[in-house]
Amino acid sequence: MIINILGGGPANYHPDLKEFDSGDSWWLGVDKGVFTLLATGIKPDYAFGDFDSVTDEEWMRIKREVSNLHTFKPEKDETDMELALDWALTKGPEKIRIFGGTGGRLDHFLGNVQILLKAELNGLSTQIEMIDRQNQLFVKGPGSHTVEKMANLKYISFVPVTPLVKGLTLEQFKYPLNNCHISLGSTLCISNELVSDFGTFSFTEGIVLVIRSND
């Protein structure tokens, strides 16, 4: 099962959401993202938020068309996105895709990047991805991982999000590495490219943020 979550980020950053609307996926709307899904022609299975960013008219439509509403007070310790993600993780999906998490406010974006770590830090097998028109972001822990060449996401970067990532090895990349240690703040692994249909990256300790991008 795949769970798709749409946040309230600017719509001009969204990919074509209907490309991800498969029969085995659930849609969760977060705050303004609930109304955006309805306007796109996708009915959310669940809605989360304090809904302080929607108009009265939009809120009336949300209440009328979405059966499963999870509402919260604006004064809370978690963001609406984090509350939705925590709920989604309890369902044990294979993958969670986050849309509407980039663009607009930088504090919201950085907060959304932080919650990509949730599954890895809690030892869960679910992969959490954040996707927009130009980027796909996800995190990986120690081990060997395979990536496939994608014409629409040419560049691949590896950003350490722990103080040290040990033994990073990149194979079938334009700029290969062999057992390299990279520290937090390093830009060594920014903007690499695959030289074959598949490549592998592996490391023995730490967590990396993988960013696939295009111009």
What does DSSP assign to residue 118?
H
Contact 165, 208 (CB under 8 A): yes
Phi then psi for residue 208, to 5 deg, are: -115, 145
Contact 17, 40 (CB under 8 A): yes
Residue pLDDT, tens place only, 22-73: 878 999 999 999 999 999 999 999 999 988 888 999 999 999 999 899 988 8
Q: Which residue has the tokens 């927009």?
A: 132
Whole-number Cα distances in Å, 167 to 16, 170, 178, 208: 37, 10, 7, 12
What pLDDT is recorded for position 16?
A: 94
Q: Which residue has the tokens 């001009």?
A: 12
List beta partners, residue 26. 3
What pLDDT is recorded for position 74?
A: 79
| Nearest alpha carbon to residue 40 among 23, 56, 27 | 27
Which regions of the chain does DSSP assign to beta strands (E)?
2-6, 25-30, 46-49, 69-71, 95-99, 127-131, 135-140, 143-148, 155-160, 164-171, 177-183, 192-193, 198-203, 208-213
Beta carbons within 8 Å of 23's beta carbon, 6+ residues apart = none
Mean pLDDT of 167-189: 96
What pLDDT is recorded for position 210?
A: 98
Q: Which domains does the chain have, with CATH numbers?
A: 2-133 (3.40.50.10240), 140-213 (3.40.50.10240)
What pLDDT is recorded for position 78?
A: 86
Residue pLDDT, tens place only, 72-110: 887 787 889 999 999 999 999 999 999 999 998 899 899
Q: pTM for the full model?
A: 0.93
Q: Is the dihedral of CA 203, 207, 209, 210 positive or negative?
A: positive
Q: Which residue has the tokens 């895709």?
A: 97
Output the average pLDDT for the chain: 94
* 178 pLDDT above the threshold of 90: yes
Q: What is the dihedral of CA 111, 112, 117, 123, to 10 degrees?
A: 120
Whole-number Cα distances in Å, 145 to 78, 79, 141, 185: 31, 31, 9, 22
What pLDDT is recorded for position 39?
A: 92
What pLDDT is recorded for position 209?
A: 97
143's enclosing H/E stretch is: strand 143-148
What pLDDT is recorded for position 145?
A: 97
3-state secondary structure of 36: helix
